[in-house]
């Protein structure tokens, strides 16, 4: 089968012929119906090394990229209730299942760092088939795999970030989403569905802001030097109780500290490599600042339910595996609307 294989740090992956993988104990073979193209793949290919991004020291190269996957079960240790041909999504964070984090249901924060996931250290979904552990699958009832693929990372990661802030997101508060691309446009949808808060979207791209407006953002701001002031104006001078940063570079992280209000939440999701001085007087008093990773398998079941009930819908651009390099070029140049999904 054809697969998009990453084999060397600081080099792009390439399309290659590889054997169809064989599922091991507790694993299933999935025929891929859709695999989302995440900005993290650009970091993997061009920015990171195991030295600069230590979690990658547990990855074994080469592996097939694609960590946002959905498809149909083909064979293997098929869980009870599912069968060959059942449509499923695959969680992008795999877990040991026995550590205390896993036992609490926080599978995305599994304590065993050596457990790595498909497309992130093991073979992923930019291929006709991939192998995945049966315990990281969530069944689909009505959605087609290509429609559901973005739920597994763009959806799950943004949902997890929003859920962290929910207790503080009362209707008299505001939430800011910085970077309303693949992940951020879904964060806007989750904020709209789960909270009564006003939603402020910030992006440097007008098309991304148009999608955010369509998905429920109350205020859309093109990012420039005056963005901080514009957020203050839009929040009666107070700032936002939650700021979700889906870019994660120096300037967006600094902006987050300038527009969050006292006792607020700053959640950094973007992996742009930004550094923020954590300094008295710089970050408003009582704020929490965190980096999140993906979301739990339990949260993935909640998002699938939201999508299958028609409450949220990823904005998708479909593409072919043969065009993957062009898709990454366009993702790099900000020319993808919402999420690109490869249909092998
Ligand atoms: P994307 O390219 O689809 O979207 C990024 C958006 O940010 C675009 O709309 C772009 O115009 C906007 N943007 C870029 N620079 C900006 C700036 N300076 N100010 C305002 N807006 C700006 O990317 P994506 O796939 O949504 O991923 C976003 C980030 O999240 C990436 O860094 C990715 O690696 C990271 N990510 C993290 C996790 C996690 O678990 N923490 C999971 C998936 C992705
Ligand atoms: Zn990703
Ligand atoms: Zn674990």
**Nearest ligand to the C-alpha atom of residue 227:** 1
**Full-model pTM:** 0.98
Strands annotated E in the chain: 2-6, 14-17, 27-36, 63-64, 69-76, 87-90, 117-118, 121-122, 129-133, 137-139, 174-178, 198-203, 219-222, 240-245, 260-268, 288-291, 316-320, 339-343
Q: In this predicted structure, what is the pLDDT of residue 292?
A: 98
Confirm or reject: Cβ of 157 under 6 Å from ligand 1.
yes
Same domain, 274 and 226: yes
Distance 105 CA to ligand 3 centre (A): 9
CATH code for position 189: 3.40.50.720
Ligand 1 pocket check for 160: Cβ under 6 Å: no
Using the mean position of ligand 1's atoms as its centre, give its distance from the Cα of residue 156 in Å: 14
Question: Does the beta carbon of 27 sit less than 6 angstroms from any atom of ligand 1?
Answer: no
The verdict on the CB of residue 178 being under 6 Å from ligand 1 is yes
- Clarify whether residues 6 and 149 are in a common domain: yes
Q: What is the mean pLDDT of residues 138-155?
A: 98
| CB of 101 closer than 8 Å to CB of 111 | yes
291 Cα nearest atom in ligand 1: 41
Question: Are 209 and 248 part of one and the same domain?
Answer: yes
What local confidence, expressed as pLDDT, does residue 52 receive?
92
What is the domain extent for residue 190? 156-291
Residues 299, 284 share a domain = no
Across the range 218-233, mean pLDDT stands at: 97
Q: Is the CB of 209 under 6 A from ligand 1?
A: no
Residue 117 CB burial class (10 angstroms; 0-12, 13-18, ≥19): buried
Q: Is the CB of 185 under 6 A from ligand 1?
A: no
Pocket of ligand 1 contains residue 271 by CB under 6 Å: yes
Give residue 25's pLDDT band: very low, low, confident or very high (50, 70, 90).
very high
What local confidence, expressed as pLDDT, does residue 302 receive? 98
Residues with CB under 5 A from ligand 3 (ion): 95-96, 99, 102, 110
Nearest ligand 1 atom, CA 255:
19
Residues 10 and 144 in one domain: yes
Of 257, 272, 291, the last residue of a domain is 291
Question: At 230, phi and psi to the nearest 5?
Answer: -65, -35
Residue 202 confidence (pLDDT): 98
Residues 138 and 227 in one domain: no
Tell me: do 48 and 139 sit in the same domain: yes
Residues 58 and 149 in one domain: yes
CA separation (Å) from 275 to 251, 253, 287, 289, 309? 9, 8, 17, 13, 40
Instruction: For residue range 284-336, list pLDDT tens digits in order.
Output: 999 999 999 999 999 999 999 999 999 999 999 999 999 999 999 999 999 99
Using the atom order of ligand 1, give the atom closest to the CA of residue 294: 40
CB of 205 sitting under 6 A from ligand 1: yes
Q: Are residues 97 and 122 in the same domain?
A: yes
**Tens digits of residue pLDDT in 177-210:** 999 999 999 999 999 999 999 999 999 999 999 9
CA dist 218 and 44 (Å) reads: 34
338: pLDDT confidence band, cut at 50, 70 and 90?
A: very high
Number of domains in the chain: 2
Question: Which CATH number characterizes residue 85's domain?
Answer: 3.90.180.10
Q: Looking at the structure, tell me whether residues 6 and 139 fall in a common domain.
A: yes
Mutational pocket test of ligand 1: of 212, 247, 300, the residue with most ligand atoms within 8 Å of the beta carbon: 247
Question: Nearest residue CA, atom 33 of ligand 1?
Answer: 40
């Amino acid at each position: 089968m054809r697969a998009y294989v990453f084999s060397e740090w600081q080099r792009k992956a390439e399309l290659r012929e590889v054997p169809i993988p064989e599922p091991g104990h507790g694993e299933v073979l999935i025929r891929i119906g859709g695999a989302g193209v995440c900005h993290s793949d650009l970091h993997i290919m061009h920015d990171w090394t195991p030295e600069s991004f230590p979690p990658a020291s547990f990855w074994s190269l080469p592996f097939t990229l694609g960590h946002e996957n959905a498809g149909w079960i083909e064979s293997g240790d098929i869980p009870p209730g599912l069968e060959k041909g059942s449509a499923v999504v695959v969680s992008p964070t795999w877990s040991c299942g026995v550590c205390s984090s896993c036992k609490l249901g926080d599978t995305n924060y599994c304590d065993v760092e050596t457990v790595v996931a498909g497309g992130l250290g093991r073979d992923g979904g930019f291929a006709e088939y991939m192998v995945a552990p049966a315990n990281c699958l969530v069944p689909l009832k009505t959605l087609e795999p290509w429609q559901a693929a973005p739920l597994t990372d763009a959806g799950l990661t943004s949902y997890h970030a929003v859920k962290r802030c929910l207790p503080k997101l009362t209707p008299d508060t505001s939430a800011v989403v910085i970077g309303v691309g693949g992940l951020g446009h879904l964060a806007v949808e989750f904020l709209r569905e789960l909270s009564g808060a006003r939603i402020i979207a910030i992006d440097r791209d007008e098309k991304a802001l148009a999608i955010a407006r369509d998905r429920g953002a109350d205020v859309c701001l093109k990012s420039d030097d005056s963005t901080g002031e514009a957020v203050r104006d839009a929040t009666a001078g107070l700032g936002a109780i939650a700021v979700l940063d889906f870019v994660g570079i120096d300037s967006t992280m600094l902006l987050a500290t300038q527009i969050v209000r006292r006792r607020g939440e700053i959640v950094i999701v973007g992996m742009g490599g930004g550094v923020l001085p954590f300094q008295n007087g710089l970050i408003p008093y009582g704020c929490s600042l965190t980096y999140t990773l993906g979301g739990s398998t339990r949260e993935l079941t909640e998002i699938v339910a939201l999508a299958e009930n028609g409450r949220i819908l990823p904005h998708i651009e479909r593409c072919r595996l043969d065009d993957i390099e062009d898709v990454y070029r366009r993702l790099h140049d900000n020319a993808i609307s919402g999420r690109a999904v490869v249909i092998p």
